[in-house]
Amino acid sequence: MTIYFYHFKDAYGDFSNFSRHGFWLDNYYWPTVEHYYQAHKFLGTAYDALGHRIRTAPTARAAAQLGRDPTYPVRQDWEQVKQQVMWRALVAKFTTHAALRQLLLATEEEDLVEDSPVDSYWGCGRDRQGHNYLGRQLMYLRYCLRHSIPLPNEFRGWPLSQG
């Protein structure tokens, strides 16, 4: 059975980037994964200060709105680094919160799919044919945790590559 998640208030909503499970990373406290992810779009750019506004935004929705504002161009390497940014945030979130780690492990070998109707990169998109990279990263994290594999600094892909 595939486990679909999206809204942070629904079943398995704790897997959402909007769930209120904060963590410390890079010497700052991040209220949600969404705060961390959106702020890192501007790291090292002329809009670096926007990252602070995003980090201190009152909600994940507010952080997402700031981070998606087309007025501010994202860092040039964003497409190359965004999966690593997400991975680091997910590792921090799930290693900080034991209950979340247990929830993730309790999903056994089920496929995890972010059921986003608007995002076919991190989620499955409206047609459920999207890349589902958030679900893939969670399954990779679950695999590493279950098998006591030291957590790598980067997402290496799911299913796991041989070699």
Sign for the CA dihedral angle at 156, 22, 66, 119 comes to positive
State residue 160's pLDDT score: 57
Residues above pLDDT 70, as percent of the chain: 96
Residue 129's pLDDT band, with cuts at 50, 70 and 90, is very high
Asked whether the predicted pLDDT for residue 157 surpasses 80, the reply is no
The full set of domains in the chain, from first to last, is: 3-146 (1.10.357.40)
Helix segments in 97-132, DSSP class H: 98-106
Average pLDDT over residues 83-102: 98
CA 98 distance to own-chain centroid: 17
pLDDT of residue 163: 33
In the predicted model, is pLDDT for residue 77 greater than 60? yes
Give CA–CA dist 69/138, Å, rounded.
Answer: 27
Q: Return mean pLDDT, the chain.
A: 94
Whole-number pLDDT of residue 159: 65
**Structure confidence by residue, pLDDT tens digits, 7-59:** 989 999 999 999 999 999 999 999 999 999 999 999 999 999 999 999 999 99
Q: SS3 string of 21-57?
A: CCEEECCEEECCHHHHHHHCCCCCCCCHHHHHHHHCC
Considering the chain, what percentage of its residues have pLDDT values greater than 90? Answer: 90
pTM: 0.94
Nearest to 64 by CA among 22, 55, 21: 55
**pLDDT 10s digits, 78-91:** 999 999 999 999 99
Q: How confident is the model at residue 153 (pLDDT cuts 50, 70, 90)?
A: confident
Using alpha carbons, select from 66, 75, 68, 58 the residue that is nearest to residue 20: 58
Other beta carbons less than 10 A from residue 145's beta carbon: 17
